[in-house]
């Protein structure tokens, strides 16, 4: 159960409430959490005055920002829009959080790194985005910090998928039902992340904040969260097709071939390595992080039931 310092329900403003991650946040919200939903067209995150007015009127205990411009390749041409939504607007939310003494939970990305590191990225590693999307997301992190807000959690995540949104899992299933062969990039590695696990991680961090120990250090700051283990996009696609066959989905594809990034050029550069070190999150919460393969199976089981 989540309650604030006055032992009443925690009032949570959920930004981007109709998006893929937010839908799972709504489903996984624990008892004692009162969600207030904000999304277009009634709520324009890019309108500073509207953001301030609506959030200071609500006076939430927590603001969870699931809104983002997520078209990685589109950001290369729509730079101003990406920077406004992913960058400046995070500052608007941070200022509103300061005005009402709320905690801000903001979702960021592996794209703030260049992907050249050997080994998993920790929160202490230097950021170096190589795409406009990555620059815009890092700009949002910096806008948050620059407001002086102290009560915040920045959760960087990677390769996100879940019900209710466009994602790699559903794309592969659609292609696998139509084609005999697939060619998938194998020289980019990362950790697929199920929205259900990320939503649980958000509430795990908030529960630590709501029940602080007298000797515990300040829990706020930047955290990395993705499912445990790593794979290439090629390995992820193979696992998706395997799960699809086990669920007796209409799978036509016979062969999946690994290819290099250079064989599938896209407008935006992707990090070659997106693997995260989750030691900080696990040490604070005491929670185990599910393996990506197990969570993919969980997703398919839920997907089957919903159909």
Bridge-based pairing state of the strands 255-259 and 181-185: parallel
How many whole angstroms separate alpha carbon 157 and alpha carbon 109? Answer: 5
Going 21 to 23 to 28 to 34, the CA torsion angle's sign is: positive
Token digits for 40?
């277009």
Catalytically annotated residue among 133, 161, 234, 281: 133
Q: What residue has token string 């896209």?
A: 266
Q: Among all chains, which residue has been given the structure tokens 């939503």?
A: 199
> Which segments of the chain are extended strands (E)?
10-15, 33-38, 62-65, 103-109, 152-157, 160-161, 181-185, 189-190, 193-194, 221-224, 231-232, 255-259
Please confirm, yes or no, whether 299 is among the known catalytic residues: no
d(CA 234, CA 192): 12
Cis omega before residue 41 (within 30°)?
Answer: yes
**Active site (catalytic) residues:** 133
């Amino acid at each position: 159960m989540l309650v604030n310092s006055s032992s009443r329900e925690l009032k949570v403003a959920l930004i981007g409430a109709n998006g893929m991650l937010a839908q799972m946040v709504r489903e996984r919200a624990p008892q004692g959490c009162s969600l207030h939903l904000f999304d277009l067209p009634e709520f324009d995150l890019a309108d500073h005055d509207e953001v301030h007015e609506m959030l200071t009127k609500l006076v939430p205990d927590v603001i969870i920002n699931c809104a983002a411009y997520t078209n990685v390749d589109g950001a290369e041409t729509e730079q101003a829009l990406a920077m406004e939504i992913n960058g400046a607007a995070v500052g608007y939310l941070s200022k509103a959080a300061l005005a009402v003494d709320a905690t801000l939970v903001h979702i960021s990305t592996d794209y703030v790194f260049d992907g050249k590191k050997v080994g998993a990225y920790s929160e202490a590693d230097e950021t170096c985005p190589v795409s406009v999307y990555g620059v815009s997301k890092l700009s949002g992190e910096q806008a948050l910090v620059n407001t002086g807000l102290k009560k915040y959690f920045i959760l960087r995540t990677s390769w996100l998928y879940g019900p209710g949104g466009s994602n790699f899992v559903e794309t592969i299933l659609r292609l696998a039902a139509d084609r005999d062969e697939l060619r998938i990039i194998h020289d980019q590695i990362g950790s697929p992340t199920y929205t259900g696990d990320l939503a649980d991680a958000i509430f795990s961090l908030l529960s630590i904040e709501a029940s602080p120990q007298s000797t515990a250090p300040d829990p706020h700051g930047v955290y990395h969260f993705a499912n445990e283990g790593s794979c290439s996009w090629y390995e992820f696609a193979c696992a998706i097709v395997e799960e699809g066959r086990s669920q007796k989905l209409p799978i036509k594809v016979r062969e999946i071939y690994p290819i290099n990034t250079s064989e599938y050029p896209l407008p935006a550069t992707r990090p070659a390595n997106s693997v995260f070190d989750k030691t900080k999150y696990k040490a604070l919460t005491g929670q185990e992080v599910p393996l990506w393969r197990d969570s993919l199976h969980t997703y398919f089981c839920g997907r089957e039931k919903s159909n």
